[in-house]
Amino acid sequence: MEPIKIGLCGLGTVAQGTLEVLRRNQSEIERRVGSPVKVTCAGVRTDKPDVDLSGIRVERDMLAVATAADVDIVVELIGGTDLALKLVMAAIEAGKGVVTANKALIAIHGNEIFAAAQARGVMVAFEAAVAGGIPIIKAIREGLSANRIQWLAGIINGTGNFILTEMSEKGRAFDEVLAEAQALGYAEADPTFDVEGIDAAHKLTILASIAFGVPLQFDACYTEGIGALTPADVANADQLGYKIKHLGVAKRTGGGIELRVHPTLMPKNRLLSNVNGVLNALQVQGDAVGPTTYTGPGAGGEPTASAVVADIVDVARTLTADPLNRVPHLAFHADALGGEPILSIDQIHSAYYLRLQVADTPGVLSQITKRLGDHAISIESIVQKQVQDPHDSVPVVLLTGVVKEADMNAALAEIEALESVLEPAVKIRVESLV
């Protein structure tokens, strides 16, 4: 089958993540799209010897990628609003699909970009532009399309949240944490965009537009950053029972839309108060669904690439699939559904909480731990409750390490057969995923 051909522009944090994810998940992506997806051409200004570009044609002239015959979808990951605008407009003009992670570009020039794309009949996808890996554009634009959205609010700059978290939890200095965020690939090329709230304002502009159905109006967004916050403010807020978070808020009122980005005190027990580090989180209130919450990594190479590649899949489907079947019903194409078996419950792995009712006699604990040890089950903690009357039975509560459920059941069968174990064990799985 003919591959979908990708022209990748830029070779920075997000582009490298995109190359890696496309390579690693090549066959999974092909099963979703219905055709192979291949990076054929890379627009690269400066070589990076540690990035493997084997089998990829390197193009020095970025704009040439937009018109290249060996490119179906142009992926813009250079950032900025000058060359990036020219590149995206040239790609649209050439009839190519476009994927971009560039929120500045969409917030400022999105109205003209989408008009051109509409006229030319091509798709411009920008999921990575807002809240990195969280599929928030898709959630609002498709998943919530039944609703009149009343408001949305969230932490939408990973660098800023990382800085505030490290300052408040570890007392670290602003400049030192910012330098770390830059080294980790979270920050914008000009980090004042993160610190002064401009990046969050770009994202909030985009969110308000898709939530409320208004044109993109970046200039109308009130913007205040975190640069003026001091450790003293953070400590004072803490004493009062609050966290300080940098929030974007877009809210419909009777008289118009509030569109604002600024530091905010929030009670410590609120969900958003506990979203830390590079994580982003958004709450969206629809009139039918009520409040909904979305959280995940807001920046970083592979998390952002997750959104870029999802957009590539979406655009590729518009190029290849039968219009009646653009999104396969089961996400993968019907003839590409796999044969991985579903495991029976005794084949799963889990940690366990066990409660055993035992006779209060010497040696009972060692009999139990021996049976667990025989099945290579480690004990993370053990609590034996005290009783008043020496003839009473006592509960023993154990937390185990992760083990195959069949092994746990075998050990429990032996434990329950012990004379000193008086009742069937209570076994509750301890989940470490959530």
Ligand X SMILES: NC(=O)c1ccc[n+]([C@@H]2O[C@H](COP(=O)([O-])OP(=O)(O)OC[C@H]3O[C@@H](n4cnc5c(N)ncnc54)[C@H](O)[C@@H]3O)[C@@H](O)[C@H]2O)c1
**Residue 259 interacting partner from ligand X, Na ion, ligand HSE, none (CB closer than 5 to 8 Å by kind):** none
* Spatial separation of the C-alpha atoms in residues 259 and 371, rounded to whole Å: 62
**Per rule CB under 6 A, is residue 85 in the interface with ligand X?**
no
Instruction: Please check whether residue 246 is in contact with residue 281, taking contact to mean a CB–CB distance below 8 angstroms.
Output: no
Site for ligand X in 102-131 (CB under 6 A): 102-103, 128
- Please work out the total of residues on this chain that contact ligand X, with binding judged by CB under 6 A: 26
Geometric angle at alpha carbon 198, from 248 and 290, rounded to 5°? 15
Q: Give the β-pairing of 379-384 and 393-400.
A: antiparallel
- Residues tagged active-site: 203
Q: Give the β-pairing of 222-223 and 256-267.
A: parallel
Nearer to Na ion, 43 or 297 (CB): 297
**Per rule CB under 6 A, is residue 22 in the interface with ligand X?**
no
**Per rule CB under 6 A, is residue 199 in the interface with ligand HSE?**
yes
**Per rule CB under 5 A, is residue 305 in the interface with Na ion?**
no
Binding annotation for L-homoserine: 188
**Residue 305 interacting partner from ligand X, Na ion, ligand HSE, none (CB closer than 5 to 8 Å by kind):** none
Q: Name the H helices within 299-430.
A: 301-320, 364-374, 405-416
Element (H, E) at 38: strand 37-43
**Least spacing, CB of residue 202 vs ligand HSE, in Å:** 9
Number of helices followed by number of strands (H, E) in the chain: 14, 17
**Per rule CB under 5 A, is residue 279 in the interface with Na ion?**
no
Instruction: Please check whether residue 45 is in contact with residue 83, taking contact to mean a CB–CB distance below 8 angstroms.
Output: no
For residue 305 the two structure tokens come to: 């690439």
**Least spacing, CB of residue 186 vs ligand X, in Å:** 5
* Spatial separation of the C-alpha atoms in residues 184 and 64, rounded to whole Å: 31
Site for Na ion in 70-129 (CB under 5 A): 127
Write the burial class of residue 417 (CB in 10 Å: 0-12 exposed, 13-18 middle, 19+ buried): exposed
Nearer to ligand HSE, 157 or 285 (CB): 157
Binding annotation: 103, 188
* Spatial separation of the C-alpha atoms in residues 108 and 103, rounded to whole Å: 8
What is the Cα 87 distance to its own chain's centre? Answer: 27
Nearer to ligand X, 102 or 285 (CB): 102
Here the contacts of 366-375 (C-beta below 8 Å, separation 24 or greater) are 367/415, 367/418, 367/420, 368/396, 368/398, 368/415, 368/418, 368/421, 371/411, 371/414, 371/415, 371/418, 372/398, 372/400, 372/411, 372/415, 374/411, 374/414, 375/403, 375/407, 375/408, 375/410, 375/411
Site for ligand X in 303-342 (CB under 6 A): 304
Site for ligand HSE in 140-179 (CB under 6 A): 157-159
**Residue 83 interacting partner from ligand X, Na ion, ligand HSE, none (CB closer than 5 to 8 Å by kind):** ligand X
**Residue 22 interacting partner from Na ion, ligand HSE, ligand X, none (CB closer than 5 to 8 Å by kind):** none
- Please work out the total of residues on this chain that contact ligand HSE, with binding judged by CB under 6 A: 11
**Per rule CB under 6 A, is residue 106 in the interface with ligand HSE?**
no
**Per rule CB under 6 A, is residue 132 in the interface with ligand X?**
yes
From 204, 307, 398, 421, residue interacting with Na ion (rule: CB under 5 A): 307
Nearer to Na ion, 282 or 403 (CB): 282
Alpha-carbon distances of 410 from 378, 396, 418, 419, rounded to whole Å: 14, 19, 13, 17
Instruction: Please check whether residue 97 is in contact with residue 73, taking contact to mean a CB–CB distance below 8 angstroms.
Output: yes
**Least spacing, CB of residue 202 vs Na ion, in Å:** 13
* Spatial separation of the C-alpha atoms in residues 246 and 323, rounded to whole Å: 42
From 251, 300, 302, 368, residue interacting with ligand X (rule: CB under 6 A): 300
- What residue number has its CB nearest to ligand X? 12
Instruction: Please check whether residue 386 is in contact with residue 316, taking contact to mean a CB–CB distance below 8 angstroms.
Output: no
**Per rule CB under 5 A, is residue 131 in the interface with Na ion?**
yes
**Residue 46 interacting partner from ligand X, Na ion, ligand HSE, none (CB closer than 5 to 8 Å by kind):** ligand X
**Per rule CB under 6 A, is residue 77 in the interface with ligand X?**
yes
Binding annotation for NADPH: 103
**Residue 127 interacting partner from ligand HSE, Na ion, ligand X, none (CB closer than 5 to 8 Å by kind):** Na ion
DSSP 161-212: HHHHHHHHHH---HHHHHHHHHHTT-S-SSTHHHHTTHHHHHHHHHHHHHHH
From 34, 97, 132, 197, residue interacting with ligand HSE (rule: CB under 6 A): 132
From 4, 6, 8, 10, residue interacting with ligand X (rule: CB under 6 A): 10
Which residues are at the interface with ligand X (CB under 6 A)? 10-15, 45-46, 62, 77-80, 83, 101-103, 128, 132, 185-186, 188-189, 299-300, 304
Which residues are at the interface with Na ion (CB under 5 A)? 127, 130-131, 134, 307
Which residues are at the interface with ligand HSE (CB under 6 A)? 132, 157-159, 186-188, 194, 199, 298-299
